[in-house]
Amino acid sequence: MDKNLRDEKDITVVKEYVTWTDVDVFINSLDTFIQQNTFNGVYGPARGGLLFAVMISHKYNLPFLGAPQKGCLVVDDIIDTGKTAEAWKDKGYTIASMYYKKNNLVEPDFWVKEKTDKWIVFPWEEVRTTKDINEAENFLLSTIEEAYPIQSSSSFLEDYNKAITALEVVKGGQ
């Protein structure tokens, strides 16, 4: 029987989890860049850039484009090897990306975070099972109960209601 000679580092995937707050920070960080440029619309490739393009279209009142056009902003989640972005290079598009891995085929005109060897997991890529949601709910509920034993002060009630609202958000409510 042959042994697997690969180093454990090669088979262990280290993940970086992106939160919705991180996504908002990226979208908001485009503000000055978008104000300093004129774009006739925003395009995002399916999967990686589509959600970003829709969010940017709404926030900055730019037309959402079904295909890139000269003078548009093309936005993607990650420019890693640059192979996807190479299709947009030198064609009159401006390229923006949340993550960029340096020294690849294409450097975007705007990027926020440097891509490392970690596997990036965006919030829309996570699939939460009912079991995961129930475990999170139970954890939060027990933490709330430990942190805020039953009291009758108005500040307690305000804090408790904030905590319960946070719990509802985790459960997918408001």
Handedness of CA 44, 47, 48, 53 (dihedral sign): positive
Count of residues in the chain = 174
Question: Is 7 a domain residue?
Answer: no
Predicted confidence at residue 149, as pLDDT, reads 63
Question: Is 134 a domain residue?
Answer: yes
- Residue-number span of the structural domain to which 22 is assigned: 13-124
Q: Over the stretch 69-128, which tens digit does the pLDDT of each residue have?
A: 999 999 999 999 889 898 998 999 999 999 999 988 999 999 999 999 899 999 888 777
Asked if 109 and 131 sit in the same domain, the reply is: no
Higher pLDDT pick, 32 / 161: 32
Kindly report the CATH number assigned to the domain that includes residue 78.
3.40.50.2020
Predicted confidence at residue 23, as pLDDT, reads 93
C-alpha closest to that of 106 among 77, 85, 78: 85
Question: Is 165 a domain residue?
Answer: yes
Task: State the Cα–Cα distance between residues 42 and 171, nearest whole angstrom.
Answer: 32
Structural domain count of the chain: 2
* β pairing state of 119-121 and 94-100: unpaired
Question: Is 86 a domain residue?
Answer: yes
Question: Is 110 a domain residue?
Answer: yes
Give 42's strand partners.
Answer: 64, 73
In order of 10, 16, 19, 129, the CA distances from 26 in angstroms are 30, 16, 11, 28
Asked if 63 and 101 sit in the same domain, the reply is: yes
Segment among 24-33, 81-90, 128-137 with least mean pLDDT: 128-137
Three-state SS at 86: helix
Predicted confidence at residue 1, as pLDDT, reads 45
Question: Is 2 a domain residue?
Answer: no
